[in-house]
Chain A
């Protein structure tokens, strides 16, 4: 009799945690920063609820297996998101690689142009022999 009460208490706790995690999974607003990590964190609550439910049902081996493998899943998903899609935090995803085509005479890499520009401006400052003037030519002349 007492065992049944304990089992039902465990199942009810699991049901409560599952509903809470379901609400939390959907109620995160769209503008939330790092929303995917927050959802992975919420799924951790669901994992614990599943383990409690398995213990309440008497499936101890399954509960032990799931207790071990659940963190691996969460970490794998978070790692995949960080490496492939997390533009907010991963600076490597924001870098754009320039394709340099040496054979094309009209396209040059940005760094090369900037370096040439700097050199040329220093030369202009040092060399003031040349002056530019404009002549006004009237049609009558």
Chain B
């Protein structure tokens, strides 16, 4: 088996672990930790989608991951501005 494919599979497993860790982190007490955990989970899913799309040739996988990353950022910043009060 090619070393590149093996490293891609290892990376997918690492992202799965990270998604579980992010879900656990988002369950902590403060609202900011929920925000942080959900943001990390979305980014981990987007990059895992990039790897999977590279392996299995999904359609539009780059566009979907770009949308996830970009709108995840927008949502996180918007929620942070609302949670942080004015300014």
Residues of chain A at the chain B interface (Cβ within 8 Å): 4-5, 7-9, 11-12, 14-16, 18-19, 21-23, 25-26, 36, 39-40, 43, 46-47, 50, 53-54, 57, 59, 62, 65-66, 69, 72-73, 76-85
Contacts and interface: CB of A to CB of B under 8 A. Distances in A.
Interface of B: 2-4, 6-8, 10-11, 13-15, 17-18, 20-22, 24-25, 30-33, 35-36, 39-40, 43-44, 47, 50-51, 54, 62, 65-66, 69-70, 73, 76-77, 79-81, 83-85
B78 to A, nearest CB: 9
Most buried by B among A11, A26, A84: A11
A84 B85 CA distance: 7
A77 B39 contact: yes
Nearest to B51: A57
Nearest to A27: B21
Given A40-B36, A59-B62, A77-B76, A84 B50 contact: no
Contacts of B76: 73, 76-77
A47 B31 CA distance: 21
A62 B50 contact: yes
- Does more than half of chain A's interface fall in helix, strand or loop, or is it mixed? helix
B32 A77 contact: yes
Most buried by A among B47, B77, B81: B47
Contacts of B62: 59, 62
A73 B81 CA distance: 11
Contacts of A50: 43-44, 47
A14 B50 CA distance: 14
B80 A80 contact: yes
B30 to A, nearest CB: 5
A8 B54 CA distance: 13
Contacts of B11: 11-12, 14-15, 18, 53
Given A53-B11, A73-B77, A76-B81, A46 B18 contact: yes
Contact of A25 (B25, B70, B80): B25
